[in-house]
């Protein structure tokens, strides 16, 4: 447990950096969304603090696959996940677009694009470290409930709750949020070598509790993650239903001493 989103970001960035500096790095699985902003800020900082030789080594081997993209949005649309990744990591770190992969939301045949994306991931050997955010309805990527653990990379319809949750990037209007997306499947996510589920903020407390306490079930897609042999959940106090700041530690000194 970490105190807040920034502390969570720093912890997750450590995991990402470790994966980037591994002797034989495997593709990273990356997410977008508000939870990830402090993660990528911390990662930029960590990489900036490295010696130039190590920094170059980490970035030269970069290979990542994002979870999802909205159907109908091209890479140049400011609310696309392509644009978010370019802003957060691609441009500031100088990562070439073909190393920072996402499904193509503007592809003329989205179902075919989903199959192409799944095949590209398989050809790259699958995900090493998968970073995930959590939707308020329990989705990971855009695997909306109900979702079986064997669901593969595909084109999905987004629920109204999800379109409301993501409306901020579309001027606050849920109607402007695309109705469909291409998402990595739970099957490909669960096949990752290691998974880190990142959860921040009080709005996620109820669903995180269900993920952690209820038996794995299709109604809560993220609950299948608990069956993974190498899952880490990194959450802040609010997401765990605690007050944002811990109570001050008791002063062990007797009164009157200094």
164 binds ligand GLP (CB under 6 A): no
34 binds ligand GLP (CB under 6 A): yes
Interface with ligand GLP, residue 5, by CB under 6 A: no
Output the DSSP codes for 103-143: --TT-SSHHHHHHHHHHHHHHTT--SEEEE---TTS-BTTB
Stretch that binds ligand GLP, among 17-25, 33-41, 82-90, 220-228 (CB under 6 A): 33-41
Binding ligand GLP (rule: CB under 6 A), the pick from 17, 30, 31, 129 is: 31
The answer to whether residue 35 forms part of the interface with ligand GLP (CB under 6 A) is: yes
Residue 27 per-residue DSSP state: -
**How many angstroms separate the Cα of 145 from the Cα of each of 159, 161, 186, 242?**
9, 11, 11, 27
In the annotation, is 91 catalytic?
no
> Does residue 111 carry a catalytic annotation?
no
- Give yes or no: 23 in active site: no
Annotation marks residue 144 as catalytic: yes
Distance (Å, whole) CA 191 – CA 127 = 7
Q: How far is the CB of 142 from ligand GLP (least distance, A)?
A: 5
Give me the residue label for tokens 């099957």. 187
Q: Which of residues 106-135 bind ligand GLP (CB under 6 A)?
A: 133-135
* CA–CA gap between residue 240 and residue 199 (Å, rounded): 9
Site string for ligand GLP, 53-92 (x = CB under 6 A): --------------xx------------------------
Residue 182 β-bridge partners? 69, 155
Q: Is 142 in the site for ligand GLP (CB under 6 A)?
A: yes
Tokens of 122: 């398989």
Catalytic residue among 4, 77, 137, 193: 137
Residues with a known catalytic role: 68, 137, 139, 144
């Amino acid at each position: 447990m970490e105190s807040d989103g920034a502390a969570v970001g720093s912890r997750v960035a450590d995991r990402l950096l470790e994966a980037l500096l591994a002797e034989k790095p495997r593709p990273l699985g990356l997410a977008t969304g508000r939870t990830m902003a402090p993660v990528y800020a911390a990662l930029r900082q960590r990489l900036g603090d490295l010696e130039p030789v190590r920094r170059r080594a980490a970035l030269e081997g970069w290979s990542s696959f994002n979870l999802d993209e909205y159907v109908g949005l091209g890479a140049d649309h400011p609310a696309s996940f392509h644009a978010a990744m370019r802003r957060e990591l691609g441009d500031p770190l100088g990562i070439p677009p073909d190393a920072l992969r996402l499904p193509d939301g503007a592809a003329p045949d989205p179902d075919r694009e989903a199959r192409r994306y799944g095949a590209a991931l398989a050809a790259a050997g699958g995900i090493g470290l998968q970073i995930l955010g959590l939707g308020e309805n329990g989705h990971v990527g855009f695997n909306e409930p109900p979702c079986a653990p064997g669901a593969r990379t595909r084109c999905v319809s987004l629920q109204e709750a999800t379109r409301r949750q993501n409306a901020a990037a579309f001027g606050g209007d849920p109607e402007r949020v695309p109705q469909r997306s291409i998402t990595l499947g739970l099957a490909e996510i669960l096949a990752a070598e290691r998974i880190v589920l990142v959860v921040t903020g009080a709005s996620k407390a109820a669903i995180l509790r269900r993920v952690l306490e209820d038996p794995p079930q299709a109604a809560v897609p993220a609950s299948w993650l608990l069956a993974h042999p190498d899952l880490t959940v990194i959450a802040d106090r609010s997401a765990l239903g605690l007050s944002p700041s811990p109570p001050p530690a008791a002063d062990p000194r007797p009164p009157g001493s200094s």
